[in-house]
Structure 1
């Protein structure tokens, strides 16, 4: 496909440097594309900022806590009694966001209390709070110590890297419960007999809905991560670009994911929150923002996406989901989901978002400000992440 507008990343960065770049958030871009068309929008706009904020279970921290005296080869590590994986190197460990504090029961039987786990430790470290570090080693000639304990803060750590294997799901299912009992899931508390529905996406603001075929996002893409600067380091686990898509090219199921990393010492607890999910356990809520360079009218078209264009499947988490049955209860748009109620099996069902549209918009605005102030430049990916095998621009792009 021959594009009428062609811009390079280098040209856009030069405009950022001269404070001449035109930057809008994803919500603002919708009206621009509708009023002016995607060719004129591509000429006018240089960057669209996106955002998402919600629980992302496949997250954690790679931590190096310096050497003790005498040195220890830590095979077992705990932070505030939350176990980290110590089978890496002497004082490296990986703290998973969903690891639960030892002896902490699931809170479905105690609905008035909350679990504490890896996500909360990560938040506490970023907040500058003291955390109790305990380590056990088996003792070697070069690492003779067998036990180490110390209160530490993030300033005491040699390295604290947020290292997340799967974040920023492109789309996700809508959860209902058809059974006659309340169930506790990572999609929240689902009431019996389809009495509520939950969903988890920032929709029109979400990064991968604005670049549905991963044309500008790849390894090395600089992003807003938890209030600091991070990077896309690979496609995320479970990344699956070859899924059913609608006439606009938007996936109807989960599709793409991103693996990301960033320095926790730059981050802000406004955008990183430990989460306790009733009856399920713990997780980490993360804010991610990705700039989409408008290099041509193709990208302007995709960044004109709105909630009414995006669809998701409804699944029964009470029976079909745990039993891996692919039965669905239909497709629903994000516009309908955000209205507060949807129709399922002829019944009006209230909806609840598990991600924050408000925070997603704030993140997109914050990233926009960074770019306009010349503090954030966009990057050309070293390699694009896994692509859809049948992508043809002419099939979807209508300018």
Structure 2
């Protein structure tokens, strides 16, 4: 059986498309089989809600009178990059505030400012300009909201890892990492991916998603813009095509003015820095039976490597692979020791992302797009080593 995206969109527009979340599809496949699900279901929705620190916002403030060519700028004390257009800025989600007014500011970063703008709150701007004949102004201070600036859109260089690691600490001292605190002597373990409901683990060969694919991004409509940074589709894979560690990533873009603060939240990792929790949902059109076969994957069929972050090297030792069924049980066994484990991704909110996207499609508010180009399946993962002397 074959469908086209145009046929599915026609059913969406007439409110008679059958949409199920990835979790619902897995249960139905177990009940009635692949072939019957393929015939009955038109769209499968996936979702995740997890930290995505390689995110940020493009902001155009609008010109002042007299005009200013901004070369240094702070939004609520967080530096924003200003090395391009005169009043264009890029605010990185993991950039930390430089101005500290107590503990609240100390733990504040770009992700918190992005959340505030999406929520409609006011943000303070302090800018310094390069004085030229056409841009004579040297300084500028104001307060902005999302409604008083021209463009405000998220452009995220690396989101939704196809898989990730499980972090542990085999050393003797606590570690404060991008996965949060790791207790010494294998005191705990943390994983970051939502497993079988995560978008790219349901399309492991990137056959459905591509450049131009419309997605749920932060509670608004977004698009896949390109491969993500550190995109590594050549990662080793299981027979079901899913990777055994970090693999594909995507660059995403979407209008911040349309997003919802429920799905975009600034966060802070103790002694590591600020980041951004972000909800992303990807619809998978059921074009053929192979789509359902890949979406039928269960947590027991997916694995992640247990990595010892106490070793200060790029390539760290591992304690082998564990399944997402084991991870979601709350305990794993490492070298004969039972280790408690917790997710950094919110499994509950990941499910809610997939559910909300399903509701949008059911209501005819969200249609599917055909990718204009594929995400590359090639590409090496290049390191930087200081062997060359100048």
Shorter-chain TM range is: over 0.9
Alignment check: 8 A CA contact 2:189 2:340 kept: yes
* SS at 2:37 equivalent: helix
| 1:35 CA drift (Å) | 2.3
Q: Give the equivalent residue in structure 1 for 2:159.
A: 167
| 1:114 CA drift (Å) | 5.9
Q: Give the equivalent residue in structure 1 for 2:387.
A: none
Listed as ranges, the gaps of 5+ residues in structure 2 are 380-390
Q: Give the equivalent residue in structure 1 for 2:247.
A: 255
Listed as ranges, the gaps of 5+ residues in structure 1 are 390-399
Q: Give the equivalent residue in structure 2 for 1:397.
A: none
RMSD value, Cα = 1.6
- Cα distance change on mapping 1:27 and 1:384 into 2, 3 Å: same
Q: CA separation in 2, counterparts of 1:201 and 1:85?
A: 30
Q: Give the equivalent residue in structure 2 for 1:17.
A: 13
Aligned pair count reads: 379
User: What pairs with 1:75-224 in structure 2 (closer than 5 Å)?
Assistant: 75-104=71-100, 115-224=107-216
| 1:388 CA drift (Å) | 5.7
Query: Cα deviations across residues 373-392 of structure 1 (Å, max 9, x unaligned)?
Result: 00000110000101269xxx
45, 63, 68: which one pairs with 1:67? 63
Does the alignment pair 1:34 with 2:30?
yes
Q: CA separation in 2, counterparts of 1:127 and 1:18?
A: 33
Q: Give the equivalent residue in structure 1 for 2:346.
A: 356
Query: Cα deviations across residues 98-131 of structure 1 (Å, max 9, x unaligned)?
Result: 11000559x9xx8x99610100000111111111
| 1:343 CA drift (Å) | 0.1
Q: Give the equivalent residue in structure 1 for 2:264.
A: 272
Q: Give the equivalent residue in structure 1 for 2:234.
A: 242
Q: CA separation in 1, counterparts of 2:33 and 2:129?
A: 63
Tell me whether 380-389 or 358-367 shows the greater mean CA deviation: 380-389
**TM-score, normalised relative to structure 2:** 0.95
| 1:325 CA drift (Å) | 3.0
Q: CA separation in 1, counterparts of 2:173 and 2:318?
A: 20
Q: CA separation in 2, counterparts of 1:90 and 1:325?
A: 41
**TM-score, normalised relative to structure 1:** 0.93
- Cα distance change on mapping 1:83 and 1:113 into 2, 3 Å: closer
Q: Give the equivalent residue in structure 1 for 2:365.
A: 375
* SS at 1:213 equivalent: coil
Query: Cα deviations across residues 238-285 of structure 1 (Å, max 9, x unaligned)?
Result: 111111111211100110101001110001110000011111000000
Q: Give the equivalent residue in structure 1 for 2:383.
A: none
